[in-house]
Structure 1
Amino acid sequence: MTLPMNERVRHIQLSGIRQFFNLVANEKDMISLTIGQPDFPTPDHIKEATKRALDEHFTSYTHNAGYLPLREAACRFVETKYGLRYTTDEVIVTVGASQALDIAFRTILTEGAEVILPAPVYPGYEPIIRLCGATPVHVDTRKTGFKLLAEHIEPLITERTRCIVLPYPSNPTGMTLTSDELKQIAALVKGKPIWVISDEIYSELVFTGKHESIATWLPDQTIVINGVSKSHAMTGFRIGFLFARQWIVEHMLKVHQYNVSCATSIAQKAALEALTVGINDANDMKKQYAERMTYVYDRLRAMDFDVQKPNGAFYIFPSIAQFHQSSFDFALQLAKEAKVAVVPGSAFSTYGEGYVRISYACSMEELEKGLDRMESYIKKGAR
């Protein structure tokens, strides 16, 4: 007997990132340059704050929107860092940035709506969009340095367009948008019945200049997503933040409330420590990521890879067109013969085909070893 299920779920694929990671995870002596997991430990003062929360019995439900001191700290953080102004009624503490995206999409999307997003792109957006009965409209950004520009967006806007996703700094490319590029998108969208979801989870990891948010120029139509996973090496704590105008936050809070009630109380205390005492914790990590990025970029260029130099996050996205293989076949062969795991570009939409993603969120020693193996493999004649 086959019992009924949601057909939209049936047609969703597991993340290509995880599929490939799982495929090679048990291989001996594998250098994995796959997952976006910071190799830095969570700072000690944050771990101590977590222990104190337990000792102080801070183990009950918090307000649905989150522990008030944490919401206050989150508002101060984005104002201090990026000049964004929100009140405590304009922020929700979520179970990671992923849950923030989920409640945002489920609040603003209706059946038949369209969502414009750049490609190649992180694979976590499309499944949620489709579960909402909406349609993702991918924009090929390969000819503009992996940047989604106003000139791309304008011809794609229809009466069904409800949202544009700006995921910068980008996973998988590490690219960012300039203030001028953001201003042009804001000018295009302003006054239209279109939301912008600005996924800024890597905002603290920008190597040149400072991170800028489109919410600076389009505050009433922007939903900002952020969190402490990448900035403070707190992926397992699962704390994200959603910022938007109060009237729409009130509706998103209803979805959040029936989805998870509230984020974990202990993790919220840890995040409070991160955003206050640890407000600049990301600086040392960012410095090391920048050094790793330069090293990986230079090594890839020396191997004759065609590759854009990233300006943020901890990913780089070289072309493998020269090898005349699909990205999956190239990555699989590299894993089997050189014991180096990278993510096939096809995991990031069809526009990622012909590329691979390398994560440098691992030690310099691992990067050196992995790139040495890759170079030896290529010199032998990758096939």
Structure 2
Amino acid sequence: DEVIIFKPYYPGYLPMITMTYAKPVFVDTSKTNFTITPELLAQYVTDKTKVILICNPSNPSGNVMSREEIEKIVDYVADKDIFILADEIYNELSFVDFTSFASFPKIKDKLIIVNGFSKSHSMTGWRVGYTIFPLEYRKLFVNATLFTLGSPVAVSLAAAESAITKYSDRSHVRKIYQERAEYLYKRLIDLGFEVVKPKGAFYLFVKYTMFSDLDSFEFTMDVLKEVQVALVPGISFGNEGYFRISLIADIPTLGETADRLKKYLDNHKK
């Protein structure tokens, strides 16, 4: 069985695919401006394809699929025996109008959605998530998770209930991340980096090869040692020549980050 996974991808996907003895099939979206199209998919779908895994909004690129883009993918798989597994964990942190794959009834019998409270309500350590899928597969899901998940901790469930009932409007959080994204995006562009314009989540995915011939692991380690800025190498997400930077810090800290990156670049001019 084959699972289509789009580069750049969240690193946690790969072990979940290989643990089930499925084969990950990588589709690089860096050549299509990080967008997913039926034409691109068609080059990789085979009679062994069982799942198309899509992270929307994307970690690490911050790209968000438009309703039109999603509808084209839905139409493409509608007559195929292929599941869409949609990771929508960042849906509340989309800077543009967000459309869920659940908006299209024609694929409800072949759609699995995963989500949770980690990103929307900053509840990463509480470990509460949920999935939506066709009821006929409930037994399979229970069999697969019974001895790894058990059941959520009661205090975490109570916290999640409070989060979704008392704090369902996340627009102020969205605004904070969007301001940070726009600020750091401009600072890095001014430094000469190529940056994917983020539409959601809280990361920037940055191309650095115009400044260095080092691979992404070596580059990020070098930056860490010299100017104490922590970056994640692009190869962790399947794409060499990039790094991911988080927007969790406030704007003054992000400003210091940009200043330190400028210092690093000034010390390593080609």
Fold agreement, TM-score > 0.5 = yes
Q: Provide the residue aligned with 1:252 in structure 2.
A: 141
Structure 1 counterpart of 2:177, from 277, 289, 292: 289
What whole-Å deviation, never above 9, does each CA across 1:241-266 have from its counterpart, x for those lacking one?
Answer: 10011111332123223332211111
Q: Provide the residue aligned with 1:354 in structure 2.
A: 241
Kindly state the Cα deviation for residue 300 of structure 1 after the two structures are TM-superposed: 0.6
Q: Any stretches of 5+ residues in structure 2 without a counterpart? A: none
Structure 2 CA distance for aligned equivalents of residues 304 and 324 of structure 1: 15
Q: Provide the residue aligned with 2:255 in structure 1.
A: 368
Q: In the alignment, is residue 303 of structure 1 matched against residue 191 of structure 2?
A: yes
AA at the equivalent of 1:115: V
Structure 1 CA distance for aligned equivalents of residues 145 and 165 of structure 2: 25
Is the 1:195–1:222 Cα contact (8 Å) retained in structure 2?
yes
Structure 1 CA distance for aligned equivalents of residues 96 and 18 of structure 2: 35
Q: Provide the residue aligned with 1:169 in structure 2.
A: 57
Structure 1 CA distance for aligned equivalents of residues 62 and 48 of structure 2: 30
Structure 2 CA distance for aligned equivalents of residues 219 and 277 of structure 1: 30
Matched residue of 2:156: which SS?
helix
Is the 1:197–1:224 Cα contact (8 Å) retained in structure 2?
yes
How many equivalent residue pairs? Answer: 267
Matched residue of 1:220: which SS?
helix
Which entry has the higher C-alpha Rg, 1 or 2?
1
Is the 1:118–1:147 Cα contact (8 Å) retained in structure 2?
no
Structure 1 CA distance for aligned equivalents of residues 94 and 269 of structure 2: 33
Structure 2 CA distance for aligned equivalents of residues 192 and 272 of structure 1: 37
Instruction: Give the TM-score normalised by the residue count of structure 1.
Output: 0.68
Q: Provide the residue aligned with 2:92 in structure 1.
A: 204
Structure 2 CA distance for aligned equivalents of residues 348 and 149 of structure 1: 20
Q: Provide the residue aligned with 1:12 in structure 2.
A: none
Is the 1:196–1:221 Cα contact (8 Å) retained in structure 2?
yes
AA at the equivalent of 1:216: S
Structure 2 CA distance for aligned equivalents of residues 232 and 333 of structure 1: 33
What whole-Å deviation, never above 9, does each CA across 1:153-183 have from its counterpart, x for those lacking one?
Answer: 1121111100000101111110011111111
Instruction: Using the TM superposition, name which of 247-256 and 283-292 deviates more.
Output: 247-256
Structure 2 CA distance for aligned equivalents of residues 126 and 382 of structure 1: 36
What whole-Å deviation, never above 9, does each CA across 1:121-158 have from its counterpart, x for those lacking one?
Answer: 11111111111111000001011121222111112111
Matched residue of 2:31: which SS?
helix
Is the 1:227–1:239 Cα contact (8 Å) retained in structure 2?
yes
AA at the equivalent of 2:66: T
AA at the equivalent of 1:229: S
Matched residue of 2:146: which SS?
helix
Q: Provide the residue aligned with 2:109 in structure 1.
A: 220
Q: How does 1:4-43 map to 2 (within 5 A)?
A: none
Structure 1 CA distance for aligned equivalents of residues 52 and 194 of structure 2: 29
Q: Provide the residue aligned with 1:105 in structure 2.
A: none
Q: Provide the residue aligned with 1:330 in structure 2.
A: 219
What whole-Å deviation, never above 9, does each CA across 1:12-67 have from its counterpart, x for those lacking one?
Answer: xxxxxxxxxxxxxxxxxxxxxxxxxxxxxxxxxxxxxxxxxxxxxxxxxxxxxxxx
Structure 1 CA distance for aligned equivalents of residues 32 and 66 of structure 2: 13
Q: How does 1:129-168 map to 2 (within 5 A)?
A: 129-168=17-56
Matched residue of 2:256: which SS?
helix
Structure 1 CA distance for aligned equivalents of residues 172 and 46 of structure 2: 44
Structure ranking higher in strand proportion = 2
Matched residue of 2:200: which SS?
coil
Is the 1:150–1:188 Cα contact (8 Å) retained in structure 2?
yes
Structure 2 CA distance for aligned equivalents of residues 143 and 176 of structure 1: 16
Kindly state the Cα deviation for residue 382 of structure 1 after the two structures are TM-superposed: 5.1
Q: Percent identity?
A: 36
Structure 2 CA distance for aligned equivalents of residues 266 and 382 of structure 1: 53
- Which structure has more relative contact order (CA 8 Å, sep 6+)? It is 1
Structure 1 CA distance for aligned equivalents of residues 130 and 269 of structure 2: 44
Matched residue of 1:318: which SS?
strand
Instruction: Using the TM superposition, name which of 327-336 and 195-204 deviates more.
Output: 327-336
Q: In the alignment, is residue 242 of structure 1 matched against residue 131 of structure 2?
A: yes
AA at the equivalent of 2:182: T
